[in-house]
Amino acid sequence: GAVVSQHPSRVICKSGTSVKIECRSLDFQATTMFWYRQFPKQSLMLMATSNEGSKATYEQGVEKDKFLINHASLTLSTLTVTSAHPEDSSFYICSASFYSSYNEQFFGPGTRLTVL
Amino acid sequence: TQLLEQSPQFLSIQEGENLTVYCNSSSVFSSLQWYRQEPGEGPVLLVTVVTGGEVKKLKRLTFQFGDARKDSSLHITAAQPGDTGLYLCADRTNAGGTSYGKLTFGQGTILTVHP
């Protein structure tokens, strides 16, 4: 149980375009979803926390107008990287939790974004 | 802001050797977790420790939590190539509100076990 999927697993796009990444909880209803960013050989950096039906809470230094997060249902959250640039190339990972799991986070497999 | 420091950052050893990875916090852990992440995948939870002085074992992995709940170690006995990966410690906040369940990660230890 507690499986989280991400789509796509890899995406390559041109500079200036927007990219949408989906995060789905497959067998549970996620009250909270988290989005992380990870550069090569580095740790995970939390970008934002989203609760279903409310606006995401962004970490300091993360541009909310550039990284749009939508958590419209209890099983789906999306991260849209708007006007992507090469410096946005990274590994984006989502996680999901639900209250009765004592807020244990279950991680998705990640999405590798490459901006040319 | 809580800071988690892991050491060493990189570890390259031969199969069969033992190793220890350390995680130190600038403040008391709420709930300490250790994760392992393989390249191109999400992190996988190995263990959660809550009580100071706690020791947990998972096959060849031994996790210790300091009495003061500000430090932890992960010891691997007889390392195997399949243990290769990024090991991350994290503190899971139990604070209320929108921070509930939020994870703060250490910078990680990259372990390479050579056959």
Cβ–Cβ below 8 Å for A43 and B103: no
Q: Is A50 on the interface with B (CB under 8 A)?
A: no
Instruction: Tell me whether residue A86 is exposed, middle or buried, using C-beta atoms within 10 angstroms of its C-beta: 0 to 12, 13 to 18, 19 or more.
Output: exposed
Q: Write the CA distances from A87 to A76, A84, B40, B64, integer angstroms.
A: 26, 8, 19, 38
3 state SS for B14-74: ECCCCEEEEEEECCCCCCEEEEEECCCCCCEEEEEECCCCCEEEECCEEEEECCCCCEEEE
Q: Please compute the mean of the pLDDT values over residues A52-62 and round it to a whole number.
A: 88
How far is A22 from B30, CA to CA, in rounded Å? 30
Residue B102's pLDDT is 82
Each residue's pLDDT tens digit, B12-54: 999 999 999 999 998 898 889 999 999 999 999 999 998 999 9
Tell me, what's the pLDDT at A30?
A: 86
Indicate whether B100 pLDDT > 70.
no
Residue A72 pLDDT grade (very low, low, confident, very high; cuts 50, 70, 90): confident
Could you say which of B42, B45, B88 has the minimum Cβ distance to residue A43? B88
- Could you tell me the two tokens for B66? 């300091």
pLDDT in tens, A98-111: 765 555 889 999 99
